[in-house]
């Protein structure tokens, strides 16, 4: 046995103390990784289907060893989406919006609390955008043929447009939060939540996932998206912003890729839903203030917000406002927005100041 001096004993003790400290730090690091779910590989659960006259695609990232409750989660997601559709679709017979549109002026209509939430946010954005966003635009959508999805052979007359405009106006909606009722002040007011309901559906599914303890997910309904945490490669979710289609080429191409975490993204564009009338493009996006389809060069708007409901409605509002007025409002309200305008046969991309700051490190695809 080697001879050990008193000095060497002290050295051994110090060395063991150092080793113990290193081992303790390593153990704590492993514990933190374990608590954060980083001790094993990730696996992605995918849920998809049809809802609200569109599709949904949801990814939930978990520890690879945890596949419990997947069927229950799938059923809960489907039920949540069906509830939103039943409450907010103008076509769902017996649903909240269907009954509201069928009711006469001055008749309070009982609706779900979440319908009140959506209508209140819609009114807030209507006021913010000076009426560019208006969920009562239904009569104008109808007069231009978009509710029936039948292209017109002749444009509506000025008289027909004015008659439709007389039945439009978010200020004619009276909400009673205590009783969960909505009252239309004028006859023929028609509510259409298609520009905000999908965003709300995304938010509600995200809330459902949160309540079930999910930390990493991507929820997409009809192109509106909300992300949190990381994908199965332990990276932030990377979402592509679609490049507007040109001519008859409707293939999907990406204009920009952004990394999202705990954020929503909604995009509004006029390049897929339109028809030609007398050589002019008739966009499905109607300006409630003029009563006519938008005629400017703004092809696509993407808005980023904490909640998808707001992003959805704001994207439509900016599309109505156009690039100049929309960008001024985005900068004034500190909203992250990304605009794509037509310029001859090409496209010009601009963004708000907040977008430039938040996504400075991203590059065009």
Q: pLDDT tens across 319-347, in order?
A: 999 999 999 999 999 999 999 998 887 88
Which pLDDT score, from 0 to 100, does residue 2 have? Answer: 44
- 34-38 contact pairs (CB < 8 A, 24+): 37/62, 37/63, 37/215, 38/234
Q: Is the dihedral of CA 337, 342, 345, 348 positive or negative?
A: negative
Which pLDDT score, from 0 to 100, does residue 11 have? Answer: 43
Which pLDDT score, from 0 to 100, does residue 9 have? Answer: 46
Which pLDDT score, from 0 to 100, does residue 250 have? Answer: 56
Which pLDDT score, from 0 to 100, does residue 3 have? Answer: 44
Could you say which residues of the chain have pLDDT below 50? 1-11, 15, 19, 22, 26, 30-31, 34, 37, 364-365
Q: Is the dihedral of CA 292, 295, 299, 302 positive or negative?
A: negative
Please write down the HEC assignment for all residues of the chain. Answer: CCCCCHHHHHHHHHHHHHHHHHHHHHHHHHHHHHHCCCCCCEEEEEEEEEECCEEEEEEEEEECCCCCCHHHHHHHHHHHHHHHHHHHCCCCCCCHHHHHHHCCCCCCEECCHHHHHHHHHHHHHHHHCCCCCCCCCHHHHHHCCCCCCCCCCCCCCHHHHHHHHCCCCHHHEEEECCCCEEEECCCCCCCCCCCCHHHHHHHHHHHHHHHCCCCCEEEEECCEEEEECECCCCCEEEEEEEECCECCECCCEEEEEEEECCEEEEEEECCCCEEEECCEEEECCEECCCCEECCCCEEEEEEEECCHHHHHHHHHHHHHHCHHHHHHHHHHCCCEEEEEEEECCEEEEEECHHHHHHCCCCCEC
Which pLDDT score, from 0 to 100, does residue 251 have? Answer: 62
Q: Which domains does the chain have, with CATH numbers?
A: 42-86+195-266+296-358 (3.10.520.10), 90-184 (1.10.3980.10)
Distance CA 92, CA 83 (A): 11
Which pLDDT score, from 0 to 100, does residue 344 have? Answer: 82
């Amino acid at each position: 046995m080697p001879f050990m001096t008193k000095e060497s004993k002290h050295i051994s003790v110090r060395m063991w103390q150092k080793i113990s400290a290193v081992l303790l730090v390593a153990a704590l690091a492993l514990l933190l990784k374990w608590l954060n779910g980083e001790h094993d590989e990730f696996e992605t659960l995918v849920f998809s289907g049809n809802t609200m006259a569109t599709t949904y695609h949801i990814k939930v990232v978990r520890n690879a060893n945890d596949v419990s409750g997947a069927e229950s989660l799938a059923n809960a997601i489907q039920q949540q989406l069906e509830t939103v559709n039943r409450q907010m679709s103008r076509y769902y017979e017996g649903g909240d919006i269907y009954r509201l549109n069928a009711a006469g002026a001055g008749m309070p209509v009982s609706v779900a609390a979440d319908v009140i939430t959506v209508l209140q946010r819609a009114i807030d954005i209507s006021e913010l955008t000076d009426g560019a966003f208006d969920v009562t635009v239904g009569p104008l959508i109808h007069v231009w043929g978009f509710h029936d999805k039948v292209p017109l052979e002749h444009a509506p007359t000025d008289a027909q447009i004015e008659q439709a405009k007389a039945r439009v106006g978010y200020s004619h909606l009276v909400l009673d939060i205590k009783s969960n009722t909505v009252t239309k002040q004028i006859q023929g007011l028609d509510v259409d939540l298609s520009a905000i309901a999908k965003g709300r559906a995304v938010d509600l599914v995200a809330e459902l996932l949160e309540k079930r303890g999910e930390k990493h997910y991507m929820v997409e309904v009809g192109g509106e998206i909300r992300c949190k945490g990381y994908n199965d490669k332990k990276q932030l979710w990377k979402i592509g912003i679609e490049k507007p289609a040109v001519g008859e080429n409707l293939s999907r191409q990406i204009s920009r890729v952004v990394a999202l975490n705990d954020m929503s993204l909604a995009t509004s564009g006029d390049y897929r839903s339109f028809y030609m009338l007398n050589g002019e493009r008739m966009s499905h996006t109607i300006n409630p203030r003029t009563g006519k389809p938008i005629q400017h060069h703004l092809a696509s708007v993407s808005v980023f917000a904490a909640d998808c409901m707001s992003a959805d409605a704001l994207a439509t509002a900016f599309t109505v406002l156009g690039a100049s007025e929309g960008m001024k409002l985005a900068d004034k309200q500190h909203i992250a927005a990304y605009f794509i305008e037509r310029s001859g046969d090409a496209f010009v991309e601009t963004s708000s100041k907040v977008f430039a700051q938040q996504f400075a490190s991203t590059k065009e695809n």
